[in-house]
């Protein structure tokens, strides 16, 4: 398996997970910026002995599948080239997540592979497991939508969501490996701040999938940057279409988690430490008797379930393996 | 001036602020648990050369005013005793913040000084400045209500709030000095977690004051614990009673901040670093065109504006000084 | 396998590692303070479905081996009882590390199982691998000695150490799970401080083993507490008995690391992030031409190689398995 | 007063300290990279309402004094230009700290103002207070030398230092405002790592001043990067020329601290939290009976006593004010 764009946080982790996977083999890792360097040099803790190469589609397409971890916009042409060579692709970027061309254009601009637009399966395994075995192009979701949709799916499917506020608290690795004033330690440390106010690109993705589930709402999705490296906590404040008892909520969420190996119902509100370095999403739901709202908290590791290990879960299903293969918690 | 309960985080800071104040003098500091120890031993960075004593109201009441920094419940009897000696009191606990006895009983149980219940001025200087010069008993607000009310006052006064979700992100000093599993470094570090889900005691306090301002709502107030020592960010998601333009919001908030020296309108969403070790509340308001909601972000230092320096601001107004005396940012 | 004292950080991790081990089975976990609670409740991220019990040696001794994770002093009697039942024991405490009774008495006081004193194999696998297959009682070393001895062994064996200063930088989990003012988040955060100045209990342990290796020195071992949860960096400043060239050092350390699967020579000075959640010790050695000293840096995870996974490595060797079984980096 | 290079961490803090100083006035702030932006935009927490300008020596030299906060090498020409206009200068860079041209060349290369080389007073106020009133050019020391020399001065003056290892633990702000992989939050967080192994540029500066004090040694100075924003702890391991009793050390250090308002002797080992945002250096000395060494711990805030507030202390003495003016702890 090829990992293209393996010098970033998610690509490098994807390479490690492929490298340790009992059925997949890591055939090559590529990077636009760090070709010639080894992954071990960039990420000593991953312990992947592989040298980053310049991507050469003619040569590197000699694989069954690829994970593409390019930035938004840059990904589409690479995905298209790999698809032309018959390579099955899981794309970690936003390029193939949306299904409405106008929405894509409004948030991201011109698309880099318009012929493939709309052809991808939305790669949230818990929602699209049945479509993955036949998928040749999978759009790995954004990390905020992953945590949010896993938190809201039972309520959305029950038609219970009239309105929802999604307050996202995210670690710095979500901002990527680029060294910027925003990711400088001194900026982040002892701080917490909202960003992308009233306009984060993951919001239309949440809306699209909530509508599919049965909740045609415009969600308020507001991220905040926290002084943690990995981890993402999503606090969902749901105005419901009717009153919900706690017991009813418990039943719905136990059923939801019971059907999916990587979902956990936490007895107490989950912390991101509880799911660090795992593909697990920990959920906690509560009826608020004072306000009538339903509160759902959802914790994931943004680099794992929010990206790289979610890609492995998709690939497991694409190739007919158990979805937990190689990403069981240890 | 007496500071009773000066061994905790807020009491110790209050003692320091009194000690450095150009008009107030620190006459005594007391502690139930650490009598005999010096404040410098407990808090080297405050550099207050004073030895903690057991509180002896007969002896210590020989002052004009006192700051009482006892836990909820334990405070009321001490406040009552000091009031009997004619001492003007700013109470940092929750014992005198609420004005409805049933609400108090429901959240806190029996009251420790029922005769004084309802007699305090709610000590948010920006709202009650006119009542403070004549006040003998001031209930310093909770830190969440302080940040929340300063964020919402312009909208509440305009009758614009139909519903509001308040997502609070708080540093660990807000949980107090007690060493518990919850405040252990290893619990908090690299973590973020919701607590007091659907039932934090500051919620009825927010409701009470929002109603006074003109917004009779039941607010959803949900705190989260962050790996920072000081600081509190409040993200308010307001469903408004009518549509608001950004320009209209800007005007309302500029007017609000312009009238109060410790309120700042931030051009970008404020971080808690921006207000660390100050009495400042930094605000940022935004109309969200997608959802129709109004978002307000409010950053304070929970130990300063959220407690100890807010007390000094109240005392300045109680004694006829400029409200900024001794707590100007440096 | 039994893990006694599994409610602490190292005991709980040991239980997890046994639980996931391909050859060992976790038969019981015990705790003096938390009997009746589940490990998942205490440590959600370990995901070990086991309920803590009160230790009952008659019942729990029905195992081949046990890991005892009791505090110093409390451990010896439990170890003795288990040994009487024929259970092979790896003891994580300091009770059996020292071999000189007077030294033990000076640092720890009276011994809790004097008949067993001096009977344990010192469980640093890289030094005592040959003695482990026949060992019935293994004293898992302290975390500082582990990092220090792995850093200095090549020089000590070469008779090259005239004097050494060992500056230890340790994460908070090393101080244990007890909630104290010292482990409170607000105490540790944004701080660094020396502790146990001129007298940490690990110093005589370092001296004992350096002498065995060929360096009869009195080491200066000075720990510092850092705002990190896991991880320990040891900086060794060696005054050598003769001059050393860098090439000579490189050869000695490459040979040392080459013979042991969990030792790594880092091209750059190692950070504790590089070895987090692994049994690896990363080393970096440098001749300082200015001063004539040799500098060695050694990074481990104090909970893993510094304690729990080191215990598994010992158990692997005690039972004839490959020493890496169940603790390979993933 | 002019602050040139005010967009960096130390320059910006110097500007704030000048702005709040009772006797100095901030006439202009300049920046090569951020001209046109306001200091408040870059550093909201400093609350300095001043717009950064391009430096124009002809125009900006209309001041009594300047603080120059340029990088090493870039500083010397600016200092020379200001000196030509008669401006008294405190230079925060390393350009004028060394007094031996060969040493400078070996560590920094060609000098940018050779005519001024060797003309500066070394601006550690506690050592050179008598020379500062007449100084026109003051070389503010490096932050490591400041903490180290204040820790070792009593021993050095007593001729007691035979050898010394200086283990430095430094916060990230010491690496400056530039966003690099090394200062990325994800690199630093939960990590600790040595850097500039066996060759930090502050070492020859320490040697130079130790020799002046009476200790002609080659010090081992080894820095480590910690996940804290501000603060620096220096652990000095001194091999003494003769044995020292604790009482003798206490007397020497009490005398040393007693003579200088910003030196404090801490009863316990000092943490960097104790001195955050102050000009104070906290010291703790201990005779190690086991090893015969003397251990000295020294904590400063690298941005304050390690740079900007040390510059103000120097300027106070240069202009005949009390050295504490404007930088008293509050």
Interchain pair B275, D45: CB under 8 A: yes
CA distance A51 to A72: 24
As given in the structure block, the two tokens for residue A55 are: 């991507």
Per-residue confidence at A329, pLDDT binned at 50, 70, 90?
confident
Burial of B25 (0-12, 13-18, 19+ CB in 10 A): exposed
Burial of D109 (0-12, 13-18, 19+ CB in 10 A): exposed
As given in the structure block, the two tokens for residue D100 are: 């031996």
CA distance A185 to A172: 10
Neighbours of chain B (3+ CB pairs under 8 A): A, C, D
- B-chain CB neighbours of A228 within 8 Å are 190-192, 227
Q: Looking at the complex, does the CB of residue A112 fall below 8 Å from at least one CB of chain C?
A: no
What is the three-class DSSP state of C182? helix
Q: Is the pLDDT of residue A199 over 90?
A: no
Residues A302 and A232 sit within 8 Å (Cβ to Cβ): yes
Q: What pLDDT sits at residue B329? A: 87
CA distance A125 to A140: 9
Q: Which residues of C are catalytic?
A: 143
Query: Which chain D residue lies closest to C282 (C-alpha atoms)?
Result: D193
Q: Looking at the complex, does the CB of residue A249 fall below 8 Å from at least one CB of chain C?
A: no
CA distance D118 to D138: 11
Q: What pLDDT sits at residue D329? A: 87
- D-chain CB neighbours of C235 within 8 Å are 167, 194, 222, 224
Cross-chain CB nearest to A330 (options C20, C41, C190): C20
Per-residue confidence at C199, pLDDT binned at 50, 70, 90?
confident
- D-chain CB neighbours of A229 within 8 Å are 185-186, 189-190
Q: What pLDDT sits at residue D128? A: 98
Distance from CA of B172 to the nearest CA of A (A): 11
- B-chain CB neighbours of C180 within 8 Å are 179
Q: Which residues of D are catalytic?
A: 143
Residues B294 and B287 sit within 8 Å (Cβ to Cβ): yes
Q: What pLDDT sits at residue D330? A: 82
Q: Nearest-5° angle of CA B153, CA B259, CA B329?
A: 100
Q: Looking at the complex, does the CB of residue A248 fall below 8 Å from at least one CB of chain C?
A: no
Structural domain boundaries in chain B: 2-119, 144-302
Interchain pair A237, B235: CB under 8 A: no
CA distance A145 to A133: 22
Q: For the full predicted model, state whether its pTM sits above 0.90.
A: yes
**End-to-end Cα separation, chain C, in angstroms:** 23
Per-residue confidence at B21, pLDDT binned at 50, 70, 90?
very high
Average of per-residue pLDDT values in chain A: 97
8-state DSSP, C53:
B
Query: Which chain D residue lies closest to B41 (C-alpha atoms)?
Result: D267
**Which of the four CATH numbers 3.30.360.10, 3.40.50.720, 3.30.720.110, 3.40.50.1100 does domain A144-302 have?**
3.30.360.10
Interchain pair D45, B330: CB under 8 A: no
Interchain pair B188, C183: CB under 8 A: no
CA distance C12 to C173: 12
Q: Is the pLDDT of residue C268 over 90?
A: yes
Strands C294-300 and C281-287: antiparallel
Treating both helix axes as pointing N-terminal to C-terminal, what angle do C202-213 and C101-108 enclose, rounded to 10 degrees? 160
Interchain pair B222, A237: CB under 8 A: yes
Neighbours of chain A (3+ CB pairs under 8 A): B, C, D
In sequence order, what are the beta bridge partners of D298? D234, D283
Q: How many CB pairs under 8 A join A and D?
A: 57
Interchain pair A277, C277: CB under 8 A: yes
pLDDT tens, position by position, A69-78: 999 999 999 9
* Tens digit of pLDDT at every position of chain D (330 positions): 999 999 999 999 999 999 999 999 999 999 999 999 999 999 999 999 999 999 999 999 999 999 999 999 999 999 999 999 999 999 999 999 999 999 999 999 999 999 999 999 999 999 999 999 999 999 999 999 999 999 999 999 999 999 999 999 999 999 999 999 999 999 999 999 999 998 889 999 999 999 999 999 999 999 999 999 999 999 999 999 999 999 999 999 999 999 999 999 999 999 999 999 999 999 999 999 999 999 999 999 999 999 999 999 999 999 999 999 999 988
As given in the structure block, the two tokens for residue B238 are: 């307001």
pLDDT tens, position by position, C273-284: 999 999 999 999
Of B175, D194, D288, A139, nearest to C236 (Cα)?
A: D194
- B-chain CB neighbours of C190 within 8 Å are 229
Interchain pair D167, C167: CB under 8 A: yes
Mean pLDDT throughout C101-124? 96
Fold assignment, B2-119: Rossmann fold (3.40.50)
Strands B263-265 and C2-4: unpaired
CA distance D131 to D137: 11
Q: Looking at the complex, does the CB of residue B239 fall below 8 Å from at least one CB of chain A?
A: yes
Residues C68 and C79 sit within 8 Å (Cβ to Cβ): yes
Residues 6+ positions from B44 with CB-CB distance below 8 Å: D266, D270, D271, D273, D274, D282
Interchain pair A185, D172: CB under 8 A: yes
Residues 126-185 of A with CB under 8 A from C: none
- C-chain CB neighbours of D237 within 8 Å are 165, 167, 220, 222, 237
Residues 6+ positions from C102 with CB-CB distance below 8 Å: none
As given in the structure block, the two tokens for residue C56 are: 């009952």
CA distance C70 to C91: 8
Query: In percent, how much of chain C has pLDDT > 70?
Result: 100
Q: b/e map of D261-297 (b: 16 or more CB within 10 Å)?
A: bbbbebeebbbbbbbbbbbbbbbbbbbbeebebbbbb
Q: Looking at the complex, does the CB of residue C20 fall below 8 Å from at least one CB of chain A?
A: yes
- A-chain CB neighbours of C189 within 8 Å are 190
Q: Give residue for tokens 């800007």.
A: B250
Count of Cβ atoms closer than 10 Å to residue C303 Cβ: 26
Name the strand (E) or helix (H) holding C164: strand C161-170
Average of per-residue pLDDT values in chain B: 97
Query: Which chain A residue lies closest to C268 (C-alpha atoms)?
Result: A41
Residues A301 and C75 sit within 8 Å (Cβ to Cβ): no
Cross-chain CB nearest to D186 (options A172, A186, A187): A172
Count of Cβ atoms closer than 10 Å to residue A105 Cβ: 12
What is the three-class DSSP state of B179? coil
Q: Nearest-5° angle of CA D144, CA D150, CA D151?
A: 90
Instruction: Transcribe B201-256 into DSSP letters.
Output: THHHHHHHHHHHHT-----EEEEEE-S-SS-EEEEEEEEESS---HHHHHHHHHHH
B105 phi and psi, to 5 degrees? -60, -40
Of C195, C133, C170, C136, nearest to C307 (Cα)?
A: C170
pLDDT tens, position by position, B232-244: 999 999 999 999 9
**End-to-end Cα separation, chain A, in angstroms:** 23
Residues A172 and A189 sit within 8 Å (Cβ to Cβ): no
């Amino acid at each position: 398996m090829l990992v293209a764009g393996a010098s970033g946080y998610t690509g490098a982790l994807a390479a490690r997970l492929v490298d340790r996977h009992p059925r997949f083999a890591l055939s090559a890792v590529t990077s636009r910026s760090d070709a010639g360097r080894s992954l071990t040099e960039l990420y000593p803790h991953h312990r992947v002995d592989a040298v980053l190469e310049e991507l050469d589609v003619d040569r590197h397409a000699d694989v069954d599948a690829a994970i593409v971890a390019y930035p938004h916009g840059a990904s589409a042409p690479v995905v298209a080239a790999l698809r032309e060579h018959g390579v099955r692709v899981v794309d970690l970027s936003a390029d193939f997540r949306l299904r409405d061309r106008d929405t894509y254009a409004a948030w991201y601009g011109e698309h880099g592979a318009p012929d493939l637009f709309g052809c991808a399966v939305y790669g949230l395994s818990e929602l699209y497991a049945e479509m993955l075995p036949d998928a040749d192009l999978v759009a790995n979701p954004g990390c905020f939508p992953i945590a949010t949709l896993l938190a809201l799916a039972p309520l959305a499917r029950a038609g219970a969501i009239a309105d929802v506020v999604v307050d996202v608290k995210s670690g710095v690795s979500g901002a990527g490996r680029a060294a910027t004033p925003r990711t400088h330690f001194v900026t982040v440390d002892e701080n917490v701040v909202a960003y992308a106010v009233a306009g984060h690109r993951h919001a239309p993705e949440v809306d699209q999938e909530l509508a599919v589930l049965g909740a045609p709402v415009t969600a308020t999705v507001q991220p905040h940057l926290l002084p943690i490296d990995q981890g993402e906590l999503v606090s969902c404040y749901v105005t419901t279409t009717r009153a919900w008892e706690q017991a009813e909520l418990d039943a719905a969420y136990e059923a939801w988690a019971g059907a999916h190996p990587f979902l956990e119902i936490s007895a107490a509100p989950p912390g991101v430490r509880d799911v660090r370095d795992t593909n697990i999403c920990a959920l906690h739901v509560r009826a608020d008797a004072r306000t009538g709202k339903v509160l759902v908290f959802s914790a994931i590791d943004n680099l794992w379930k929010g990206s790289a290990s979610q890609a492995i879960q998709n690939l497991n299903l694409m190739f007919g393996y158990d979805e937990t293969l190689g990403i069981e918690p240890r």
